[in-house]
A and B are shown apart, each in its own frame.
Chain A
Amino acid sequence: MKKTICVLEDNQEILEIISIVLEEENYQVWGFGTVSEFLAGFEAHNPALCLLDVMLPDGNGIDVCNYIKGNINTRSIPVVIMTANSGIDKMKASCGADDLISKPFDIDNLSCRINLLTSNNLAQGI
Chain B
Amino acid sequence: MNDKTLLDILCRSENPVAIYTGEEILIELANPAMMAAWGRSGSVVGKTLSEALPEISEQPFVAMLQEVWRTGEDNIGEAIPAELMVNGQLQKYYFDYAYLAIKNEQGEVFAIMHTAKDVTDKINDQQELQLARGKFELLEKEQALNEELAASNEELFATNEELHKAQEALHKLNADLETMVEERTFELSRSENRLRYLLSDAPIAIAVFHGRDMIIESVNKKVLEAWGKQPDIVGKPLHIAVPELIGQEFLQILDNVYTSGEAYYGYEVKALLEQNGKIEEVYSNFVYQPLRNQSGDVDGIMLAASVVSEQVAARHRVQQLNEELTAINEELNESQERLMITNLDLRASEQRLDKILSELPAPIVVLLGPDQIISTTNAALLSFWNRTKEEVIGKPMLEVFPELKNQPFPMLWKQVLETGESIINREQQVVFKDRYTGRDRPFYVDYYYQPLTDLNGNRTGVLATVLDVTDKVRSRKKIEEAEAQLRLAIDSSELGTWFIDAVTREFRPSPRLKQIFGFYSDDNMSFDMATGQILDEYRDKVIQAVELAISEGNNYDMEYPIKGYHDGEVRWVRATGKLYGEDKIGAASFSGTVQDITVRKLEEQRKDDFLSIASHELKTPITTLKGSLQLLNRYRENLNHPLVPRLVDQANGSVAKITSLIDDLLNTTRTNDGQLHLNYQEFSIAGMLEVCCSHIRMGGKHDLIVQGAKELMISADQERIDQVVVNFVNNAAKYAPDQREIYLIVEDLGDKAKISVKDSGRGIPADKVPHLFDRYYRADYSGAQYSGLGLGLYISSEIIKRHDGEIGVDSKLGKGSTFWFTLPKKA
Q: Which of B619, B653, B785 contacts A103 (CB 8 A)?
A: B619
- CB nearest neighbor in A for B650: A13
* Contact assessment for B630 and A13 in the assembled complex, using a CB-CB cutoff below 8 Å: no
**A 32-68 contacts with B by CB, 8 A:** 34, 54-60
B622 interface hit (Cβ, 8 Å): yes
Contact (A107, B627) CB under 8 Å given A13-B650, A57-B734: yes
Q: Pick out which of these stretches binds chain B: A15-23, A73-81, A91-99, A113-121.
A: A15-23
> Which residues does chain A contribute within 8 Å of B612, judged by CB atoms?
85
* Contact assessment for B623 and A104 in the assembled complex, using a CB-CB cutoff below 8 Å: yes
B786 interface hit (Cβ, 8 Å): yes
* Contact assessment for A21 and B627 in the assembled complex, using a CB-CB cutoff below 8 Å: yes
> Which residues does chain B contribute within 8 Å of A24, judged by CB atoms?
634
Interface string of A5-34 (1 = CB under 8 A from B): 000000111101110110010000000001
Determine the distance from Cα of A11 to Cα of B783 in the docked complex, in whole angstroms.
Answer: 18
- CB nearest neighbor in A for B786: A57
Q: Which of A34, A103, A108 contacts B630 (CB 8 A)?
A: A108
Contact (A104, B622) CB under 8 Å given A34-B737, A56-B785, A57-B786: yes
* Contact assessment for A104 and B626 in the assembled complex, using a CB-CB cutoff below 8 Å: yes
Determine the distance from Cα of A12 to Cα of B619 in the docked complex, in whole angstroms.
Answer: 14
B628 interface hit (Cβ, 8 Å): yes
* Contact assessment for A13 and B616 in the assembled complex, using a CB-CB cutoff below 8 Å: no
Determine the distance from Cα of A11 to Cα of B787 in the docked complex, in whole angstroms.
Answer: 11
Determine the distance from Cα of A60 to Cα of B628 in the docked complex, in whole angstroms.
Answer: 26
Determine the distance from Cα of A103 to Cα of B630 in the docked complex, in whole angstroms.
Answer: 14
Q: Which of A16, A55, A105, A106 contacts B787 (CB 8 A)?
A: A55
Q: Which of A60, A84, A85 contacts B783 (CB 8 A)?
A: A60
**B 607-624 contacts with A by CB, 8 A:** 612, 615-616, 619-624
* Contact assessment for B621 and A13 in the assembled complex, using a CB-CB cutoff below 8 Å: yes
Interface string of B783-820 (1 = CB under 8 A from A): 11111000000000000000000000000000000000
- CB nearest neighbor in B for A34: B737
B654 interface hit (Cβ, 8 Å): yes
> Which residues does chain B contribute within 8 Å of A55, judged by CB atoms?
616, 784-785, 787
Q: Which of B616, B620, B650, B785 contacts A59 (CB 8 A)?
A: B785
* Contact assessment for B737 and A58 in the assembled complex, using a CB-CB cutoff below 8 Å: yes
B364 smallest CB distance to A (angstroms)? 82
* Contact assessment for B623 and A54 in the assembled complex, using a CB-CB cutoff below 8 Å: no
A73 smallest CB distance to B (angstroms)? 27
A18 smallest CB distance to B (angstroms)? 7
> Which residues does chain A contribute within 8 Å of B619, judged by CB atoms?
84, 103-104
B643 interface hit (Cβ, 8 Å): yes
- CB nearest neighbor in A for B735: A57
> Which residues does chain A contribute within 8 Å of B622, judged by CB atoms?
103-104
> Which residues does chain B contribute within 8 Å of A20, judged by CB atoms?
631, 643, 647
Contact (A14, B623) CB under 8 Å given A58-B737, A107-B631: yes
Report whether over half of chain A's contact residues are helix, strand or loop; otherwise say mixed. Answer: mixed
Determine the distance from Cα of A21 to Cα of B630 in the docked complex, in whole angstroms.
Answer: 10
Contact (A17, B616) CB under 8 Å given A34-B737, A56-B785: no
Contact (A57, B737) CB under 8 Å given A13-B650, A17-B631, A20-B643: yes
- CB nearest neighbor in A for B618: A84
* Contact assessment for A13 and B654 in the assembled complex, using a CB-CB cutoff below 8 Å: yes
> Which residues does chain A contribute within 8 Å of B738, judged by CB atoms?
34, 58
Determine the distance from Cα of A61 to Cα of B626 in the docked complex, in whole angstroms.
Answer: 22
Q: Which of B634, B647, B784 contacts A54 (CB 8 A)?
A: B784
Contact (A11, B624) CB under 8 Å given A104-B619, A107-B630, A108-B630: yes
Determine the distance from Cα of A82 to Cα of B627 in the docked complex, in whole angstroms.
Answer: 14
> Which residues does chain B contribute within 8 Å of A17, judged by CB atoms?
623-624, 627-628, 631, 650
* Contact assessment for A18 and B627 in the assembled complex, using a CB-CB cutoff below 8 Å: yes
Most buried by A among B623, B631, B650, B653: B623
> Which residues does chain B contribute within 8 Å of A56, judged by CB atoms?
785
A10 smallest CB distance to B (angstroms)? 8
> Which residues does chain A contribute within 8 Å of B737, judged by CB atoms?
34, 57-58
B620 smallest CB distance to A (angstroms)? 6
- CB nearest neighbor in B for A17: B627
A83 smallest CB distance to B (angstroms)? 9
Contact (A16, B650) CB under 8 Å given A55-B785, A57-B786: yes
**B 632-648 contacts with A by CB, 8 A:** 634, 643, 646-647
Determine the distance from Cα of A55 to Cα of B734 in the docked complex, in whole angstroms.
Answer: 13
* Contact assessment for B620 and A14 in the assembled complex, using a CB-CB cutoff below 8 Å: yes
A33 smallest CB distance to B (angstroms)? 8
A57 smallest CB distance to B (angstroms)? 5
A56 smallest CB distance to B (angstroms)? 7
> Which residues does chain B contribute within 8 Å of A21, judged by CB atoms?
627, 631
Most buried by B among A17, A34, A103: A17
- CB nearest neighbor in A for B624: A13
> Which residues does chain B contribute within 8 Å of A104, judged by CB atoms?
619, 622-623, 625-627
Most buried by B among A14, A21, A104: A104
* Contact assessment for B650 and A103 in the assembled complex, using a CB-CB cutoff below 8 Å: no
Most buried by B among A34, A57, A105: A57
> Which residues does chain A contribute within 8 Å of B634, judged by CB atoms?
24
Contact (A103, B623) CB under 8 Å given A13-B654, A84-B616: yes
> Which residues does chain A contribute within 8 Å of B654, judged by CB atoms?
13
Most buried by B among A24, A55, A105, A108: A55
Determine the distance from Cα of A54 to Cα of B653 in the docked complex, in whole angstroms.
Answer: 23
A48 smallest CB distance to B (angstroms)? 21
> Which residues does chain B contribute within 8 Å of A58, judged by CB atoms?
737-738, 785
* Contact assessment for A85 and B616 in the assembled complex, using a CB-CB cutoff below 8 Å: yes
* Contact assessment for A57 and B620 in the assembled complex, using a CB-CB cutoff below 8 Å: no
Most buried by A among B626, B630, B734, B786: B630
> Which residues does chain A contribute within 8 Å of B699, judged by CB atoms?
12
Most buried by B among A11, A18, A84: A84
Contact (A106, B630) CB under 8 Å given A13-B654, A57-B734: yes
Determine the distance from Cα of A103 to Cα of B625 in the docked complex, in whole angstroms.
Answer: 11
> Which residues does chain A contribute within 8 Å of B620, judged by CB atoms?
11, 14, 84, 103
* Contact assessment for B623 and A84 in the assembled complex, using a CB-CB cutoff below 8 Å: yes
Most buried by A among B620, B628, B654, B737: B620
Determine the distance from Cα of A11 to Cα of B620 in the docked complex, in whole angstroms.
Answer: 8
- CB nearest neighbor in A for B734: A57
Determine the distance from Cα of A20 to Cα of B616 in the docked complex, in whole angstroms.
Answer: 24
Q: List 6 A-B contacts (CB under 8 A).
A: A12-B699, A13-B653, A17-B650, A54-B784, A55-B787, A84-B619
Given A55-B784, A105-B626, 17 other A-B residues pairs in contact with their CB atoms under 8 A? A11-B624, A13-B621, A14-B620, A14-B627, A17-B623, A17-B628, A54-B784, A55-B785, A56-B785, A57-B734, A57-B786, A60-B784, A84-B616, A84-B623, A104-B625, A104-B626, A106-B626
> Would you list the 5 A-B pairs with minimal beta carbon distance, nearest first?
A17-B627, A84-B619, A104-B623, A13-B624, A103-B623
